[in-house]
Amino acid sequence: MTGTESMTVAEYAAYERAMGAKVLEAGGTWWRQVRPFFYRPLIPFQGLDPDMVHPPRAARWGGFQHVVGEPARANSCITFLLFRRSNAYRLESLEKKRRWEVRTALKHFQVQRLLEPEPLARDGHAVYLEFRQRTGYRYRADREAPERFAAWAAEVVRTPKVLVWGAFEAGVLQAVAVGVPVERTLFYSTFFARERALKLHAASLMLHTARAHAAVCGWAEVYTGLRKHGREVGVDEFYLQRGCEAVSLPARYRLNPLIESGLRLLMPRYMERITGCLGRGKEGSESLACAAFDGGTEV
């Protein structure tokens, strides 16, 4: 693979399943379970006609949510983080401080695309463990086991069309990023690094690498996830400070009536996340980028 090919949605569904996500097809749409019995489309910003939606059967016990094309049909909203017009990206388009970060990182790191799993499986595990211990990151705790991490490394590197980049300092792996191109969108799906690498702006360098690759390939946008909340909001600030846009789209949710009543009564903040009404703080810095994301399934 040359690194310029994109996955179909069906290929992406197969990849996410291999990564451990609960993904299934229903009514002509691929869905991801983001909470027990609660689903969203695998392509989260995909707009669906509410009259034509046929969610997974298990959703009757929980619920589902999707973007709609007509705001009048919405009862909620979902906010996505997108670098739009990616094919026009150039390093020179960043503000002065962000250009300096990338150029400073380039003095310390050599970024290579990983085509064999061995460097990631051998050296990446220590980086991953430091990342988890530093951030308290909880998703996929099973990968703390060396054999589980090695299995993940082999799967992700050998999957056609997936882009895995490593940042090396004096030949030692210090940071890892994964991009998954699906149709015309690059899903910037995983990033983790050592603390020293973050201080030397490896997060800015790896993001630049992904955006520059998307520009060369002519992909329309780079997707970095849903708008976050709580202690992870600083991750969003890292991207927003570098040209990312928080794009809110009208959405429609449907919940089991008993579940919805329980959430409104006992977990109102969780309900606010679903409706899209949750307020957010402004704290954040590049150091929080270490808590970025690893294909997580937060609502």
pLDDT digits (tens, 9 = 90+) for 121-163: 999 999 999 998 887 776 777 788 899 999 999 999 999 999 9
> CA 284 → CA 203, 250, 292, distances in Å?
14, 27, 12
Model confidence at 290, pLDDT cuts 50, 70, 90, reads: very low
| Residue bearing the bigger pLDDT, 228 or 103 | 103
> CA 159 → CA 111, 142, 179, 278, 298, distances in Å?
20, 20, 12, 37, 24
* Closest C-alpha among 81, 106, 123, 96 to residue 202: 106
| Residue bearing the bigger pLDDT, 1 or 245 | 245
| Residue bearing the bigger pLDDT, 100 or 295 | 100
Predicted local confidence at residue 231, as pLDDT: 62
Predicted local confidence at residue 277, as pLDDT: 65
pLDDT digits (tens, 9 = 90+) for 23-53: 999 999 999 999 999 999 999 999 999 999 9
pLDDT digits (tens, 9 = 90+) for 102-113: 999 999 999 999
By CB atoms closer than 10 A (0-12, 13-18, 19+), residue 27 is: exposed
Domain ranges of the chain: 1-299
Evaluate whether the domain defined by 1-299 bears CATH number 3.40.50.720: no
For 215, the token pair is 């520009």
Predicted local confidence at residue 297, as pLDDT: 37
pLDDT digits (tens, 9 = 90+) for 73-112: 999 999 999 999 999 999 999 999 999 999 999 999 999 9
Residue type, 201: H
Predicted local confidence at residue 3, as pLDDT: 78
Predicted local confidence at residue 276, as pLDDT: 85
- Number of separate helices (H) and strands (E) present in the chain: 9, 11
pLDDT digits (tens, 9 = 90+) for 179-190: 999 999 999 989
Sign of CA dihedral 68, 70, 72, 73: negative
For 88, the token pair is 């026009």
Strand partners, 38: 35, 63
3-state DSSP assignment of residue 134: helix
Which residue is associated with the tokens 């050592």? 194
Are residues 113 and 3 in contact, defined by beta-carbon separation less than 8 angstroms? yes
How many other CB atoms are there within 10 angstroms of residue 171's CB atom?
8
CA distance 26 to 60: 13
Predicted local confidence at residue 1, as pLDDT: 61
3-state DSSP assignment of residue 200: coil
Predicted local confidence at residue 232, as pLDDT: 65
For 259, the token pair is 């579940």
Reply yes or no on whether the pLDDT at 205 is more than 90: yes
Residue type, 269: R
Model confidence at 13, pLDDT cuts 50, 70, 90, reads: very high
For 9, the token pair is 């949605």
Tell me how far apart the terminal alpha carbons of the chain are, to the nearest angstrom. Answer: 34
Predicted local confidence at residue 132, as pLDDT: 86
Are residues 191 and 176 in contact, defined by beta-carbon separation less than 8 angstroms? yes
CA distance 16 to 198: 27
Reply yes or no on whether the pLDDT at 266 is more than 80: yes
Reply yes or no on whether the pLDDT at 169 is more than 80: yes
Reply yes or no on whether the pLDDT at 175 is more than 80: yes
Reply yes or no on whether the pLDDT at 292 is more than 60: no
Sign of CA dihedral 80, 5, 33, 289: negative
Sign of CA dihedral 105, 109, 114, 120: negative
Residue type, 200: L
